[in-house]
Chain A
């Protein structure tokens, strides 16, 4: 088994040490990695599959697969980016199983820019999220993102919710950087358009 390549100038990060220990068979080290990233993997999985049970299965399968394949992880990308890649593939596979009538892929949904052109230009209320209770807001946000094509919502979630860089998102999804940017723009504009009806300024709202 090859050791993970370190940058000579920098000491290995805590995460690299955990990954190396896990590769050498230390289950407690792998458990630390699970605790570090299980919330993120669950969120990504639920965003893609839109199904709680599937998301639970994706979390288990993605971590198990990562554990079984730690020997193949070379350390060229971050462990988290590598894990996200496994989790996204597992999630898409489950989505395909549930919706066999539709082709589900990261590459689909490449339509013209017309789909994302703003149609309704309306200013929003100040602090729009305060117009609703926490549970109402969750329902609105969940329903709205569910309406996006899977390829768009995956890019949006990785980039804007989980905070991966454009390059990391591209590497996790096996897409080019321009493809990530184009999907991200359309996802953001489509979500904005769909949220208009909930958040737009109403008569009587104070001016900012």
Chain B
């Protein structure tokens, strides 16, 4: 197996979504290829660091404001569509 073949399979390897034969071939390659071993480990760390980061957490005060705004817009939409359907019914019954 060449390093470029290893790289092509890296995503499936890290996600553990491959058949056992291919997995064994990749692990055999990792045993002797230090470069691929390093790329594999540091890519895994990259994913973990982003997954565990608190980047772009929604602060509580902003969260409260957004929730109120969303719900009041939904209520507004609900009452305007109810009014519209009541008007249609009134027209139909005339």
> Which residue numbers of A lie inside 8 Å of B, CB to CB?
25, 27, 30-31, 34-35, 38-39, 42-43, 46-47, 55-56, 59-60, 63-64, 67-68, 117-118, 121-124, 128-129, 134, 137-138, 141-142, 145, 156, 160-161, 163, 166, 181, 184-185, 188-189, 191-192, 195-196, 199
Whether B84 is near chain A, meaning CB under 8 Å from some CB there, is no
Known contacts A27-B75, A31-B67, A34-B67; A141 and B55 CB within 8 A of each other: yes
Total inter-chain residue pairs, C-beta < 8 Å: 121
Tell me which residues across on chain B come within 8 A of A185, comparing CB atoms. 7-8, 10-11
Count B interface residues, CB 8 Å.
Answer: 40
**In the complex the two chains form, is B47's CB within 8 Å of A181's CB?**
no
Q: Would you list 17 pairs from A and B whose C-beta atoms are within 8 A, ordered by A residue?
A: A25-B78, A27-B75, A34-B67, A39-B58, A42-B63, A46-B56, A47-B56, A63-B70, A64-B77, A117-B7, A137-B53, A141-B49, A141-B53, A160-B47, A184-B11, A189-B39, A192-B46
Tell me which residues across on chain A come within 8 A of B52, comparing CB atoms. 129
**In the complex the two chains form, is B70's CB within 8 Å of A27's CB?**
no
> Which residue numbers of B lie inside 8 Å of A, CB to CB?
4, 7-8, 10-12, 14-15, 17, 35, 38-39, 41-43, 45-47, 49-58, 62-63, 66-67, 69-71, 73-75, 77-78
**In the complex the two chains form, is A43's CB within 8 Å of B58's CB?**
yes
